[in-house]
Amino acid sequence: MTLTAPDPTVEGAARVAVPRTWLMCRPEHFTVEYRINPWMHPEHPTDTSRALAQWQRLHDLYVELGHDVRLIDPEPGLPDMVYAANGGFTIDGIAYAPRFAHPERAGEAPAYSRWFADNGFRLVEAAETNEGEGDFLLVGDTILAGTGFRSSNSSHEEVGRVFDREVVSLELVDPRFYHLDTALAVLDPVTPAVGAPNIAYLPGAFDDRSRAELERRYPDAVLVSDEDAVWLGLNCISDGYNVVIAERATGFEASLRERGYNPIGVDLSELLLGGGGVKCCTLELRY
């Protein structure tokens, strides 16, 4: 990985890293033993120790960058629990619980709900199918909400009621990018600079209506190629300056650097075998 900062003379490079609080789960039980997305191939062996080492480097990088990382204990029989982003969605001390689309992951919901209840959040149980921050992304005061493969359209209405925020529904059409956070990244999560792009996304992952809505709302967004998206390059984490991305997403890295961000590449290739990347392993806690 590299911590090289962009040239401060580049236009738009005056960006500020804002410390965040994130929840993660060690992949102690990670393996691929079923197939619920196109990335998963149970017939191919996985290496849990390698997944642990890659995850640990991501965790340590967050700490090095000054962020507060909380941990939830992994539970046996829940190999996808490492993908903490799906464990809920939090704003202002309220945690909206997940309700998973596939029975293989259903056991994760009570585990994450217990953690929220034990750690100062007001828990709201979901009536509708949703997969947490995998499909709900906060951009300023607006919730971008994905549907098409996992979270239901009705969950968009529910999350809007829970948080009393505007919700923009976006239809995903490419099964490789089955969660919103695999096809769209929030680059300025707190207070975007005037005229700066708030998001990056893969246009081909969305239907025509959703793509038009993104173009209207975010005309200066970073558009990412399929070549970078297939490494889950958009499944990244930004603190407003540092952007932790898949190291193979080199085109996206160059675009970020041109915009004044500090992209930092990491290798999560083992966890990619389960269909997750940097963002999938990271749930933002907004107290």
Q: Kindly report the backbone phi and psi dihedral angles of residue 266, in degrees, each rounded to the nearest multiple of 5, phi listed first.
A: -130, 160
Q: Is 67 a catalytic residue?
A: no
The single-letter code of the amino acid at 226 is D
Catalytic residue among 59, 179, 236, 281: 179
Spatial separation of the C-alpha atoms in residues 165 and 1, rounded to whole Å: 37
Beta bridge partners of 283: 23
Of 180, 202, 192, 206, the C-alpha closest to 259 is 192
Q: Is 236 a catalytic residue?
A: no
Q: Are 180 and 168 in contact (CB under 8 A)?
A: no
Catalytic residue among 25, 59, 67, 280: 280
Report the side by side order of strands in the sheet with 283-284.
Answer: 68-71, 21-24, 283-284
Spatial separation of the C-alpha atoms in residues 83 and 277, rounded to whole Å: 8
Active site residues: 179, 280
